[in-house]
Amino acid sequence: MDIFSFPELASFGLILLAAAALQSSIGFAAGLIAIPLMNLAGATLPQAIVMSLVGSLVQTLAGAYRLRRLISIRRYWRPIAIRTLTLPLGVYVLWRVSSLDPAFIRQLIGAVILLFVSVQGICRVRPSDRIHPAWEWLAFGCSGFTLGLVGMGGPPIVLWVMAHRWSSRRARAFLFSVYLAGMIPQALLLFWAFGADALHAGAAGLVLSPMILCGAWVGLAIGDRISRTLLRRIAYVVLVLIGLGALLGPMWK
């Protein structure tokens, strides 16, 4: 079990702070940013996923408190259940490939992100009050699998949310509800699969929680001042940049 050095912990803290600010302001992207960067800073992929999970828990609880009147896990039980069903498969594949080069996994996820964004842009789906249930199964099924595999389950859900005619606050409340519901099963599966290594990374995440909270509150203040249209545009730009970074980053080494 590796012990993180102080410079590594400091770099992890700065990464999680920035990721928390973005997550709280637009409702997603913490894992997409934090996990690849922490991996580059010295953490293994499972360690980065666990630290990101702890960070996501801290900031999601902070965001959920601000939007607590709109949070409802019971109301959104079906997408949560779909996501939970495919989560174990993703963790199993992570366990099988954890010894391989993580750069390949990041490239794969980058390609998937760009594919989702391209489909959304080409189809030009107009936000509506209801969409076909098949898209719900596809989005949350993919989300659960990618959450388990690389700790990045946000993009499919974000694209699904953007297809709805929802306010910015309702969209963020829905995302917080889904994220919270998936954290306990994800944590249990990761600790079962990776044991002491996951516990060590989780402890590091708790140590860094004050920095995460700081980023979360800054992001919430920013998020309350962003219109729905601007929020959607920011989401697209962030997804494209992250997808390109994950896909092309290993080629620059």
pLDDT in tens, 154-172: 878 888 888 888 887 888 7
- Whether the predicted pLDDT of 243 surpasses 60: yes
- Whether the predicted pLDDT of 141 surpasses 80: yes
Cα separation, 109 vs 113, in Å, equals 6
- Identify the DSSP state of 89: H
DSSP string computed for 194-251: HHHHHHHHHHHHHHTHHHHHHHHHHHHHHHTT--HHHHHHHHHHHHHHHHHHHHHGGG
What's the pLDDT tens digit per position in 127-136?
A: 787 788 898 9
